[in-house]
Amino acid sequence: MEEPVSKDPRWMRGWPIVAALALVLALQLFGQVFSVTELPYSEFLQEVARHNVAEVVVSPDRIEGHLAQPPAGGHDRFVTYRVDAPLAQQLQAGDVHFTGAAQGGWLSALFSWVMPALVFVGVWLLVMRASGRKDGLGGFGGGLLSIGRSRAKVFGETDIKVNFDDVAGVDEAKAELQEVVDFLKAPQAHSRLGARMPKGILLVGPPGTGKTLLARAVAGQAGVPFFSINGSEFVEMFVGVGAARVRDLFEQARGHAPAIVFIDEIDALGRARGASALGGQDEKEQTLNQLLAEMDGFDSRLGVVVLAATNRPEILDAALLRAGRFDRQVVLDRPDRRGRVEILQVHLQRVHGSPQLDADAIAALTPGFTGADLANLVNEAALAATRRNADDVAMQDFTTSVERVVAGLEKRNRIMNAQERRAIAVHEMGHALVAMALPGTDKVHKVSIIPRGIGALGFTMQRPTEDRFLLTRSELEDRMAVLLGGRAAESILLAEVSTGAEDDLARATDLARAMVMRFGMDDKLGNVTYERAPSPLLPVSAELGVPQVRQYSDQTGRDIDIGIRRLADAAFQRASDILLGRKALLRQSSDLLLTRESLEGDELAAIARAACAPQPAATVAAEAAATLGR
């Protein structure tokens, strides 16, 4: 539990020291004032004439000294203020009693002594306040002096409101972590046969799969304190600060055992040592070494379990992953269809949904979505229903939200001429017809020529009927044919191609390159891989900039280029053959799409039935001859 924190402002915590300094200065000043006699300058000259002055200290306007024989009841110390010598002689000749005036009184002396000290103390307090921690670790000077303290957020047993019921779609991960919950609730009973709990458990998965949520759920389920910190909070510009924070974090956790220490984004702290060619790694390596030492130094029977999360396990230091430290890894992958249904059911409880709302139908629309994506989808659907002033969230709101998330925001105000709109309609119907004609492709859900996002002038949305984890060569070739169906449709109906196929060509080329270089699907190159597979936990965009080491000859590189082009040309020819046999259908459906702007439901079902009907060979030959003769 967190220590109680004083609610007084930090600047008030140092008032005893300031008061003591002021008192000492005041006593010194007033002591000097009350132990010194101030003589008029005329009397000082008389005492000098009587040889009663023992010693003096002369300053430009002030004379201090001791009298040889002080008057009765007086002090031997005196002070007087000088008067110009010519004037003093004239006044003395006239038997005038005179004295000099001080430049300032005791109040000015007080300010001259105290004010600089007060200014210095005030500046020091402001620096301490500005550098102080937000969690109120206090006492006087709790800012810079507490730089080595851990910055972990501490949650008590009753502060975590999340448990396993709030985490769906990761049943295997919850089963793995249920052991940790049982151990934290009763450490002695769990170790009665000599078994020990793993010191560290690493949660691995793509972004948005619920790693942090699951760690909080473990603490909420077990009812123990939860120390949460990000890996980057250990690293500072001062060498040794991170190591001190690691030590402080584990000391606090041991003091509150049983407890959970959760380090999010541990790759910021645990990157492999020596992996960077740049200098300045001393601080990170010292912090990592301290973490390794702490995990070796504490006994798991005390009831302290370290959880960590990362989406880049491949860059972690090997010493961090060995047995005795993070010796168990729990993988959280993107949920399958059943998992998406469970996640949607959790989030749908928080919105006012229609009675006809089907979580399974929504899950079918969202292959590849993570838990965070689904939570965002539910929120977007609720916003869409609010915008149309509906009483509840309906299926059409989820369809709209999926389109918005996948393809981007509609831009109906974008003005395009008739020629561009027709080219887009032909292009999108080319994709749709090829997908409808091939039996192994995903079902076409919607076709639209309404611009979306930054560069999408139209889209063809396909909905898979089931989750797939393996794809055959023929299925990959079908996907390439669908991607190039838009370019093939343009060449058949418009007799020329446009720049609209840029993204299609890039995706088809990437697929062909993967088939040749990674999947060994080229007959000439054989069962050999020539390219490192990307990280399964990161999107492709995160892999950009990572240099690929070429480990093949120039001749093999030429064969790879030929193999990629051969696959792409074959896919384009296949799409062209499909569309040539359905040229009339392509023209009619393009005109319908141009009029309606979007096609879905019964209209697409009718087009799909016509596209799947057997085409006579004579019709295909006639359409091909007409196209080639133009």
Catalytic annotation, residues = 428
DSSP state of 332: -
DSSP state of 413: T
Record the tokens describing residue 252, joined without a space: 């606090």
Determine the Cα–Cα distance for residues 363 and 360; give it in Å rounded to an integer.
5
Number of other residues whose CB lies within 10 A of the CB of residue 341: 20
Q: Which residues contact 246 (CB under 8 A, 6 or more apart)?
A: 150, 234, 287, 290, 291, 294
C-beta contacts of 182-186 below 8 A and 24+ residues apart = 183/303, 183/305, 184/222, 184/224, 184/258, 184/260, 184/303, 184/305, 185/222, 185/223
Q: Determine contact, residues 365/377, Cβ cutoff 8 Å.
A: no
Torsion of CA 540, 542, 543, 547, to 10 degrees: 150
Q: Which H helix or E strand runs over 318?
A: helix 318-321
Determine the Cα–Cα distance for residues 349 and 260; give it in Å rounded to an integer.
29
- φ, ψ dihedrals at 532, nearest 5°: -70, 135
Determine the Cα–Cα distance for residues 279 and 508; give it in Å rounded to an integer.
41
Candidates 611, 606, 604, 603; CA nearest to 581 is 611
Determine the Cα–Cα distance for residues 424 and 497; give it in Å rounded to an integer.
11
CA 238 to chain CA mean position, Å: 23
Q: Determine contact, residues 269/263, Cβ cutoff 8 Å.
A: yes
Between the alpha carbon of residue 270 and those of residues 180, 316, 319, the distances in Å are: 23, 5, 9
Helix (H, G, I), strand (E, B) or coil at 96: coil
Record the tokens describing residue 576, joined without a space: 């062209």
Strands of the sheet containing 53-58, edge to edge, are: 37-38, 77-81, 62-67, 53-58
- Only one residue has tokens 């002369």, namely 58
Between the alpha carbon of residue 19 and those of residues 12, 119, 547, the distances in Å are: 11, 14, 65
Between the alpha carbon of residue 138 and those of residues 2, 29, 144, 560, the distances in Å are: 13, 34, 11, 66
**DSSP line for 453-519:** TTTBS-EEEEE-SS--S---HHHHHHHHHHHTHHHHHIIIIISS--GGGHHHHHHHHHHHHHHHHTS
Q: Which residues contact 244 (CB under 8 A, 6 or more apart)?
A: 148, 149
Q: Determine contact, residues 444/435, Cβ cutoff 8 Å.
A: yes
Q: Determine contact, residues 403/600, Cβ cutoff 8 Å.
A: no
Between the alpha carbon of residue 340 and those of residues 85, 213, 360, the distances in Å are: 103, 16, 8
